[in-house]
Each structure stands twice: as structure tokens, then as C-alpha cells.
């Protein structure tokens, strides 16, 4: 009797390597990069007298439980009239990895770290991204610091960027910090063990919520995208978890958006072309108008992020169960983000989803190549040095980073399907509650609630409609191909 193969985490890692190559990404570091790595054994150093010593500030990192590649630290101090000064330190990766070196060439090829549950494909070797160039706990590191003044009502009143030495006093995780902030959990030891860190985190949260409120009033879109993640115990998959968008994540999101805006303004004032992150005003706005009408809502004839934001907030409150699917439809109609080169004096495209005009990626140089490009440009701009990149080079990099980001998105989505197929394998024949998320002439798509997973709905019922609740039976899975097939239950 033929015995079905039992898949493990190692199998998923193997599949991920195949999918990476299929999408034009390189899963491993070439020999030249590994040779360069051998010579790197100390964090970046620089004797430039303009580098400030900010190791006394109550810096902390806030990231996922398992994150080791720490790109940023945050700190905050009160000012007069209810204003606050926030500090965001970004790892000075360029102090170790110079432009066009072998490690940089590999980073430029992939353009970002690729995260799958079975294996992470880091943009930089882990010896760097999780150690020498990471803003690790209790380690003095070089950083680029953005200092931003936030008014009592959440308005950015001014910012400055400079180089500094920083020291991470507390390595914190989103979920534990969020539970504590919301009064649902104990104070994390990383906070309680550092004098004044409790007030520091609560002040940062307070400022972040003001920033968030102001962006929301300006028309920032609050979307909820379905992104489940496999949970392993050793080699065995034991569950699928959904990431919660909580106060800890909001804190970092708001501080990073403020930093990205400030960095864009800094380069603009210096008259330097920059690699902007944009989401264009939707070409398919008429489709969004039609979508709103299905829910009895009217959107204006011209693209209006504030009106769309209000519509989404209303739908999230009315039907949170279906909101991730509505969010996905809106994201598809808006179109993906992209990188473009913007010159000073040109009309900015802006970021429609975030409701900001001048925006770029600058806060994750360990894991995203556009951020490393920006880091180098800002460092040169601080010294009034010649630009680190030619304009023609930046045009090509913008297009390349956009292309590779799309490839990475496809790899991560494809691997989520394989992970879900593996977890669901023992449940073939079982029934699940779900919701129809898509319809084609011959079949449909369904999202089941528990575990959170998506699959194909074979033999589409005649009365099927998107957003309909449905009871389905799992009929087959294919881990290699990432296929999950359901039929409507009788």
C-alpha cells in the first residue's frame, strides 16, 4: 500500500528555495559575499567627531517575539505645551557594508529579506543582520538618528537627522507590550528592569496614538490584510496563527511613518533626488465607487482618501468578520506600492493609503535595500558630500526594487499556501465554516475561519456570491504546489 509522504518544516524550506529561484530571487549568498563576511568581525566604527553620543537615552527596540534583525530603536522626551521630541535610531548598515561590495551586490539582487515560516532568506548575512549591524540589546552601535518634534495634537513641527552612537536598553516584543499597555497583562521584564522605561513606553504609546489619530483624520486607510503564519514545534507544524494589529505594532508603525516623511523632507530640502515609496491615486476609483454602492454608501467622483477611509471604518465596525476580504479587494483596486525617483521641484505622487505626500522607505536597512540606498544618500547629504548614487542609477534601482518586491510577495503568498496545506493534511474529509472570497466561471475561493486558511472551492454552488458564509468539506491538499481544495458540504 502506497504511504503518503509526511512533510516537515525542512520540506517547506526546500520548497521555498525552489519557489525563490522560480521568481528570480537568489536563496543563498555567493562565495564572494561569504569571503567578504569572513573579514567582518566587529560592529561598524567611525571616528568622525560630528557623531553624537546618545547612549544615555532610554532607547528600546520593539519588534516580533522572534526578531533578531533590529533595524530601529525609539526614545521620547517631553517638551513644553504638551509637545514631545521623539528619537528614532536607524542601524548604520553602511558603516560595514559599502556600496558595490559582494554582500551589497547580493542585497541589491534580492532587494529585501524574504520571510517564510520554515526559513528566512535574509538580505544580509545573519552575522550582520542579527549581530554586527543589528541594534542589539546592551550593545553600543552607530546609527542615523531622526529627531522629530510632535505637537500636542499630533502634528509634526520639525525634524533633524544626524549620526550618533546609541545603546539599546530594552529588547521588547509587540504582543507582551501591547497587553501591558492595554492593562491585559503583566509588565514585561525588559521594562520593569530599567528605571523609567515604564513611563518611557507609555509616553511613546501616547504620542503614537496622537500621530495615528491625525493621519486617520487626514484620510489614512485602516486596512486589515489576511496574513496567517505557520507555527512549528521542532520539525512539526502545530498551528496557524494570525498576526494581531495591536498597540505595540501601531507605536512602531507611527514612529516609522513619521521618520520616513522626515527623511523625504530632509533630502528634498537638500535638493537631492530620492527613491520615494508611493501608492498612486487609484486609476480604478470608479470600481471603488461601485464597491461602496453595494454597501449602500456613496464615494465622491474623484479619488478621496478621507472618504474611502470613512467608508472602510464603517464597514469594519458593521462586519469585522468580512473586513479582511473587503480590505483585500480595496488593496487590489488601489494597486500595489512602488518605488519611483522623485526630483526636487517635481509634483510628488504621494502615498494614497497613508495620506502623506512625501514618503520613502528609510527605517529597515538590514532587511530592505531601498532603505540602505536612502541611508547612504542621507549620510552623504549630512556631510554635504557628492550624492552616493547617480540619477540614472536611481531610476534603474526604483524599477528593479519594485519588480523584486512583487516577486517576494508572490514567494511569501505561495509559501503560506504550502504551510496551510501541510497543516490541513490530517483534516481531509472534515468540515469547516468559511466565507466565499472570490468567484470565477468554474470555481471559487473560500477562506475558512479556524484554522485561518484559504483554498479553492470546487463545483461552485449556483447561489454562490462573494461574502456568503458557507460550510465546506476539505477534499484534498498538495503541499508541493500549495493547493487546498474544498467542496460545499451537503
Q: Which residue has the cell 487590489?
A: 332
The CA distances from residue 484 to 220, 228, 414, 477, in Å, are 35, 15, 12, 5
pLDDT at residue 2 greater than cutoff 60 = no
In a domain, 413, yes or no: yes
Residues 176, 245, single domain; the answer is yes
Residue 480 has pLDDT above 50, yes or no: yes
| Average pLDDT in the chain | 93
Which of 421, 453, 471 is where one domain is finished?
Answer: 421
390 shares its domain with 483: no
Average pLDDT on 467-476 reads 92
Residue 1 has pLDDT above 50, yes or no: no
Going by C-alpha positions, the residue among 269, 266, 318, 270 that lies closest to residue 292 is: 318
pLDDT band at residue 243 using 50, 70 and 90 as cut-offs:
confident
Residue 147 lies in a domain: yes
Q: Do 361 and 439 have their domain in common?
A: no
SS3 41: coil
Closest CA to 146 of 349, 360, 341: 360
- All three cell numbers of 157: 513641527
Is 3 part of a structural domain of the chain? no
Residues 106 and 252 in one domain: yes
Question: pLDDT digits over 57-92, tens only?
Answer: 999 999 988 888 999 999 999 998 899 999 999 999
**pLDDT above 70: residue 431:** yes
pLDDT tens profile 120-143:
999 999 999 999 999 999 999 999
The answer on pLDDT for 462 being more than 90 is no
- 350-381 pLDDT, tens digit each: 888 888 888 999 999 999 999 999 999 999 99
Residue 90: partners with Cβ closer than 8 Å, 6 or more residues away: 71, 72, 143, 144, 145, 146, 259, 362, 363, 365, 371, 375
Helical H runs in 142-196? Answer: 174-181, 189-192
pLDDT band at 453 (very low <50, low <70, confident <90, very high): very high
The answer to whether residue 111 is domain-embedded is yes
Residue range(s) defining the domain that contains residue 446:
428-488
Read off the CATH number of the domain in which 461 is found. 2.40.50.140
Give dist(CA 269, CA 384) in Å, integer.
Answer: 12
Both 354 and 217 in one domain: the answer is yes
* Pairwise pLDDT comparison (330 vs 235), residue with the higher score: 235
The pLDDT of residue 3? 44
Are 161 and 304 in a shared domain?
Answer: no
pLDDT at position 144 over 90? yes
Whether residue 240 sits in one domain with residue 150: yes
Q: Quick check: is 156 in a domain? A: yes
Of 335, 353, 370, the last residue of a domain is: 335
pLDDT, tens digit, for every residue of 186-216?
A: 999 999 999 999 999 999 999 999 999 999 8
What's the pLDDT score for residue 5?
67
Domain assignment present for 165: yes
User: Do 453 and 406 share a structural domain?
Assistant: no
Using 50, 70 and 90 to split pLDDT, how confident is the model at 490?
confident
pLDDT of amino acid 4? 58
Judge whether 2 lies within some domain: no
Pair 445, 318 in one domain: no
Q: Which of 386, 406, 421 is the last residue before a domain boundary?
A: 421
For the chain, the domain total comes to 3
- The helices-and-strands tally (H runs, E runs) of the chain is 13, 18
126 and 272 together in one domain = yes
Residue 51 DSSP class? -
Residues 272 and 143 in one domain: yes
Residues 256 and 311 in one domain: no
What confidence score (pLDDT) does residue 25 get?
Answer: 98
Could you read off the pLDDT of 20-39 as tens digits, one per residue? Answer: 999 999 999 999 999 999 99
What is the average per-residue pLDDT within 149-175? 97
Residue 356 lies in a domain: yes
User: Would the pTM of this model clear 0.75, i.e. be above it?
Assistant: yes
∠266-150-70 over CA atoms, to 5°? 65
What would the pLDDT profile of 288-336 be if each residue is shown by its tens digit? 999 899 899 999 999 898 999 999 999 999 988 888 888 888 888 888 8
Amino acid at each position: 500500500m502506497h504511504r503518503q509522504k509526511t512533510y516537515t518544516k525542512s520540506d517547506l524550506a526546500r520548497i521555498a528555495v525552489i519557489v525563490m529561484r522560480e521568481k528570480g530571487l537568489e536563496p543563498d549568498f555567493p562565495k564572494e559575499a561569504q569571503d567578504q563576511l569572513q573579514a567582518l568581525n566587529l560592529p561598524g566604527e567611525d571616528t568622525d567627531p560630528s557623531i553624537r553620543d546618545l547612549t544615555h537615552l532610554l532607547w528600546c527596540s520593539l519588534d516580533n517575539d522572534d526578531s533578531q534583525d533590529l533595524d530601529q530603536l525609539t526614545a521620547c522626551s517631553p517638551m513644553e505645551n504638551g509637545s514631545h521630541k521623539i528619537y528614532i535610531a536607524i542601524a548604520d548598515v553602511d558603516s560595514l557594508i559599502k556600496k558595490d561590495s559582494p554582500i551589497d551586490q547580493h542585497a541589491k539582487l534580492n532587494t529585501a529579506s524574504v520571510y517564510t515560516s520554515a526559513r528566512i532568506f535574509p538580505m544580509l548575512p545573519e552575522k550582520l543582520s542579527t549581530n554586527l549591524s543589528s541594534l542589539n540589546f546592551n550593545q553600543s552601535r552607530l546609527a542615523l538618528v531622526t529627531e522629530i518634534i510632535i505637537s500636542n495634537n499630533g502634528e509634526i513641527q520639525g525634524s533633524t537627522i544626524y549620526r550618533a552612537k546609541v545603546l539599546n536598553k530594552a529588547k521588547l516584543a509587540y504582543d507582551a507590550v501591547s497587553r501591558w499597555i492595554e492593562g491585559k497583562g503583566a509588565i514585561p521584564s525588559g521594562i520593569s528592569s530599567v528605571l523609567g522605561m515604564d513611563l518611557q513606553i507609555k509616553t511613546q504609546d501616547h504620542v503614537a496614538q496622537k500621530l495615528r489619530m491625525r493621519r486617520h483624520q487626514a484620510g489614512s486607510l485602516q486596512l486589515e490584510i489576511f496574513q496567517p503564519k505557520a507555527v512549528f514545534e521542532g520539525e512539526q507544524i502545530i498551528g496557524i496563527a494570525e498576526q494581531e494589529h495591536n498597540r505595540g505594532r501601531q507605536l512602531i508603525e507611527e514612529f516609522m511613518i513619521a521618520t520616513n516623511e522626515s527623511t523625504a523632507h530632509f533630502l528634498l530640502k537638500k535638493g537631492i533626488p530620492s527613491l520615494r515609496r508611493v501608492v498612486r491615486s487609484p486609476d480604478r476609483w470608479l470600481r471603488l465607487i461601485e464597491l461602496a454602492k453595494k454597501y449602500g454608501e456613496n464615494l465622491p467622483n474623484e479619488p478621496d482618501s478621507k472618504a474611502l477611509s470613512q467608508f472602510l471604518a464603517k464597514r469594519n465596525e458593521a462586519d469585522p468578520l468580512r473586513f479582511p476580504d473587503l480590505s483585500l479587494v480595496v488593496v487590489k483596486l488601489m494597486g500595489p506600492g512602488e518605488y519611483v525617483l522623485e526630483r526636487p521641484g517635481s509634483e510628488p505622487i504621494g502615498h494614497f493609503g497613508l495620506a502623506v505626500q512625501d514618503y520613502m522607505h528609510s527605517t529597515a536597512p538590514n532587511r530592505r535595500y531601498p532603505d540602505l540606498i536612502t541611508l547612504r544618500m542621507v549620510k552623504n547629504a549630512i556631510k554635504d558630500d557628492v550624492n552616493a548614487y547617480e540619477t540614472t542609477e536611481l531610476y534603474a534601482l526604483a524599477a528593479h526594487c519594485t519588480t523584486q518586491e512583487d516577486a517576494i510577495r508572490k514567494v511569501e503568498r505561495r509559501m503560506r499556501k504550502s504551510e496551510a496545506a501541510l497543516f490541513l493534511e490530517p483534516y481531509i474529509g472534515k468540515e469547516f465554516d468559511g466565507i466565499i472570497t472570490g468567484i470565477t466561471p468554474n470555481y471559487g475561493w473560500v477562506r475558512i475561519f479556524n484554522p485561518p486558511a484559504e483554498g479553492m472551492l470546487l463545483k461552485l454552488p449556483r447561489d454562490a456570491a462573494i461574502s456568503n458564509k458557507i460550510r465546506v468539506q476539505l477534499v484534498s491538499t498538495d503541499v508541493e504546489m500549495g493547493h487546498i481544495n474544498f467542496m460545499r458540504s451537503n
